[in-house]
């Protein structure tokens, strides 16, 4: 049976983190994911999760200065110390929260440099992340983000992400496959799942257009879910969408919710 995790920031954007956790539990979820748990001390987040028997499936490493437009540190030149500090902070939270996956955001390339040099830096830093995380039995994930939602993001397609991972060559460096982002750049969703299934550690979903819940757009999610079950997918599927018309109503598409 497929497992669905509530992406807290997307499903409950009006709530602070600890209240988001409570809301997801009240909605019947067993797993959650969060972009950044850092506004709260790890012990408080761990307590909130434990009190509701929730599993934290995923969170992101620190992205740099979000307000200034940074969306990850891994490609940014001159940020070696910041990047290493972000790994240490991610380990602190991952261990405390029992979360085995951390998304290492590549970042936006808004600087003048040959793409190959930026790519080399990303490969090196993702390898560093995988090595640091391996000491704690954690996985370093790489996500692709489409250029319409996040202009300039360095890894915009699933194939680009796979090419990076194949250069990193670490068993705990895996793909965070976002079906919504993939549809906006590449399509061929089921074929990609089949071809790269062993490299996928986490999946996120939303429909297109609109980035709302499955059933509101063009993606045939019942077909994709059947394929994931046929392939034997055991990981979490993160609901990273903007619910409409309400969070409660947006879950009617889920197997077992009808």
- From 143, 160, 166, 227, active-site residue: 143
Dihedral, 73, 8, 214, 28 alpha carbons, nearest 10 = 150
CA distances from 78 to 73, 81, 127 (A): 10, 8, 17
Place of tokens 């994930």: 141
Residue 20 tokens read as 């988001």
Through-space distance between the first and last CA atoms of the chain, rounded to whole angstroms: 16
The DSSP call for residue 106 is: -
> What is the C-alpha to C-alpha distance for residues 10 and 239, in angstroms, rounded to an integer?
8
Residue pair 153/107 in contact (Cβ under 8 Å)? The answer is: yes
Query: Of the candidates 213, 193, 218, which has an alpha carbon nearest to the alpha carbon of residue 257?
Result: 213
Beta bridge partners of 129: none
Angle at 20 between CA 177 and CA 208, to 5 degrees: 35
Residue pair 167/192 in contact (Cβ under 8 Å)? The answer is: no
Helices marked H in 56-104 — which ranges?
80-97
Q: Is 143 a catalytic residue?
A: yes
In three-state secondary structure terms, 127 is helix
Active site positions, annotated: 143, 240
């Amino acid at each position: 049976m497929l497992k669905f995790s509530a992406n807290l920031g997307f499903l409950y954007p009006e709530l602070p983190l600890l209240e988001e956790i409570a809301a997801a539990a009240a909605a019947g979820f067993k797993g959650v994911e969060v972009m950044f748990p850092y506004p709260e001390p790890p012990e408080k987040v761990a307590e909130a999760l434990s009190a509701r028997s929730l599993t934290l499936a995923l969170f992101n490493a620190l992205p740099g200065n979000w307000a200034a437009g940074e969306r990850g540190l891994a490609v940014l030149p001159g940020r070696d110390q910041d990047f290493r500090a972000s790994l240490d902070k991610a380990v602190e939270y991952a261990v405390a929260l029992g979360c085995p996956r951390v998304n290492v955001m590549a970042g936006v390339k808004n600087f003048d440099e040959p793409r190959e040099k930026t790519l080399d830096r990303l490969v090196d830093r993702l390898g560093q992340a995988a090595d640091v995380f391996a000491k704690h039995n954690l996985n370093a994930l790489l996500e692709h983000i489409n250029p319409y939602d996040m202009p300039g993001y360095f890894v915009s397609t699933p194939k680009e992400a796979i090419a990076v991972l194949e250069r990193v060559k670490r068993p705990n460096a895996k793909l965070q496959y976002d079906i919504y982002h993939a549809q906006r750049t590449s399509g061929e969703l089921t074929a990609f799942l089949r071809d790269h299934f062993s490299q996928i550690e986490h999946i996120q979903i939303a429909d297109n257009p609109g980035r709302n819940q499955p059933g509101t757009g063009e993606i045939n999610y019942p077909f994709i879910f059947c394929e994931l079950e046929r392939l034997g997918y055991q990981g979490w599927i993160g609901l990273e969408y903007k619910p409409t018309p309400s969070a409660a109503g947006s879950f009617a598409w889920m197997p077992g919710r009808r």
